[in-house]
Amino acid sequence: MDRRLQGLEEAFDGLDIEPSRDGGKRLLVDRGSVLSLLSALVDRGFDHLHMVSCVDWPEQKELELVYILSAYNLGGSFEEEHRDVVMVGCRVPRNRPVAVSAIRLFECAEPYEREIHELFGVRFEGHPRLTPLFLDRHYETPPFRKDFDTRQYVEDFFGRVPPVGDGDGERT
Amino acid sequence: MRELELYFGPQHLGMVGNFSITLKVEGDRVLEAAANPGYLHRGFEKLMEQRSWIKNFPMVCRMNVIEPDSMEMIYAMGVESLAGLQVPERAQFVRSIYLELARVGSHLFGLWAYANMLGFDTVAQWAMYHRDLVLDLFEELTGGRVYHIYIWPGGVRRDFPEGFEKRLVETLHSIGGCVPDYNGTFFENRLFRDRARNIGTVTREEALGMGGTGQVLRATGVPYDVRKIEPYAAYDRVPWEVPTREDGDACSRILVVRDEMIESVHMIFKLLDEMPGGDVYNRIPNPFKWRIPAGETYVRCESSRGELGLYLVSDGGERPYRAHFRTPSFPHGLTVLEDALRGESISDVGNIMISLYVVAPEIDR
């Protein structure tokens, strides 16, 4: 195992480290300790947050937040093990999706958390502006969740626009 | 003095692309800036969940209008990683040459936008003309000028046509022959230097803290480039350099763009010399019935704007379960831009935004 990850399993209860398919590492942690795990990873050199992503798992009634990290490794050589990308997963319940904001550790998490709040409905505690990033309408179901039917939405929303020439004859 | 709110874009001469910034200004100083993306939000990542693995290729390239090729590449890399596909050696070289050509085309477009914004219309027209010559090559190779859909899982769609390499070299020589003209008229011109120096400075610490990559980081002296760190395609088969600058201002970023263009052209020549023979694609399963084993992957490559990543999840089905792109313009156009604009003059807003090389559709997706 990458020596930068040694000792993490002992330090975090319930932390699960497994190799991911592409040669990196996959860490799964409770939502309560995600921030302290990220902080421990920063101390171990994983100082580059690539992105925060979210996956909807409706059958498990959970949303999974995925933090993807690697090292900028300034001035160091990029040996095989320093290339590793680490994914940190953290599951939150779908009906009460609350997580802690990672902005304190990574400034660039701000727009990603805004995006996830808007598209998946996850609320990030400690985030200074959870305002909409892309959309200008309010959606009852956050639009990137699996139960949001895009086709039905298009039909409901745009299907109501009457076709040209189908009115009361005024357009002829 | 009174504080005012000023809307910059989406309809503004200094704004390239569908994007706007809300500025809080006092006099002509920017106190605060809030980026407003979303004008091009098409929900591609959600739409991808409804289309088969192969049908998503025409979709992903539309996320970045100016350089669609690295979007094809990253999606192909994601699918290959999940499906465990190998790519023949010749295809790796073809991919690298194709992506470097795309980088040159994209940088020329970026130079057009930047020169145009500063009022260097002649240089802008040169750059646009030279980009068109690159597009001619793409048209010959792929049939499309803007969207090419050339890379696919397991390789590329077709080999170079007969005589293509010769025409590629000729075109690059004719563009490269104009570098002294570009230098004399633009890059060494005092008007450019005075307008761009010490403008929109992002220090190394700031860039690292805000997830900066690409020119934003390389303009602060950090040689961070995914092509070197985690070589993909054929980038580790030939020697090449990562151009950097030290000052972190708009001038440094634009000079890094120029140096990268020149480096890319040299790299293409070296790759052509080393190119092996053989097939350019491996057979893939019937794309209409293609199921990819369940799993997740994160792949990354270096687009012309910085680090491009893709988080791709499969549930074992015929479609992606989830796709999420880490586009370089996302941190650059939101976090870095808002920070870099603080304290600057209104007349430099367009200058800073374009020097950060932000492409709006890439943010919105």
B119: left (phi over 0), alpha (psi -120 to 50) or beta: left
pLDDT over 60 at A170, yes or no: no
Chain centroid offset of residue A108 CA = 13
Which of B37, B298, B321 has the CB atom closest to A85's CB atom?
B298
Residue A23: predicted pLDDT: 59
Strand ranges, E, within chain B: 3-8, 20-26, 29-36, 151-152, 155-156, 295-303, 306-314, 322-326
Q: A164 touching B, CB under 8 A?
A: no
When CB atoms are compared, the residue of A21, A72, A74 closest to B295 is A21
Among candidates B41, B224, B331 on the partner chain, residue whose Cβ is nearest the Cβ of A134: B41
Average pLDDT over residues A64-76: 82
- Ordered per-residue pLDDT tens for chain B, 365 residues: 788 888 887 776 666 678 888 899 998 899 999 988 888 888 899 989 988 999 898 889 888 888 899 999 999 999 998 888 889 999 999 999 999 999 999 999 999 989 988 888 899 999 999 999 999 999 999 988 889 889 989 889 888 998 999 999 999 999 989 999 999 999 999 988 998 888 888 998 889 888 889 999 999 988 888 888 888 888 988 999 899 998 889 999 999 999 999 999 999 999 999 888 888 888 888 888 888 888 888 899 999 999 999 999 998 889 999 999 999 999 998 999 999 998 889 888 888 888 888 888 888 88
**What per-residue confidence (pLDDT) applies to A83?**
64
d(CA A132, CA A139): 11
Tell me which DSSP letter residue B335 carries.
I
Give the per-residue pLDDT at A162: 66
Q: How far apart are CA A139 and CA A156, in angstroms?
A: 13
Note whether A103 and A113 are within 8 A (CB). Answer: yes
What value does the CA radius of gyration of chain B take, rounded to a whole number of Å?
20
Listed range (A7-16, A50-59, A131-140) with the worst mean pLDDT:
A7-16
ipTM comes to 0.87
* Nearest Cα to Cα of residue A115 among B359, B15, B327: B327
pLDDT score of A171 more than 70: no
- Of the candidates B127, B52, B71, the residue with the CA atom closest to the CA atom of residue B285: B52
Closest CA of chain A from B243, distance in Å: 15
The three-class DSSP label of residue A93 is strand
> B145 CA to chain A: closest CA distance, Å?
29
A158 contact B CB<8A: no
B29-36 and B20-26 strand pairing = antiparallel
Inter-residue contact A38 to A103 (CB < 8 Å): no
pLDDT at residue number A172? 44
Each residue of A84-100: pLDDT tens digit? 788 888 889 988 889 98
The answer, yes or no, to whether residue A163 has pLDDT greater than 70, is: no
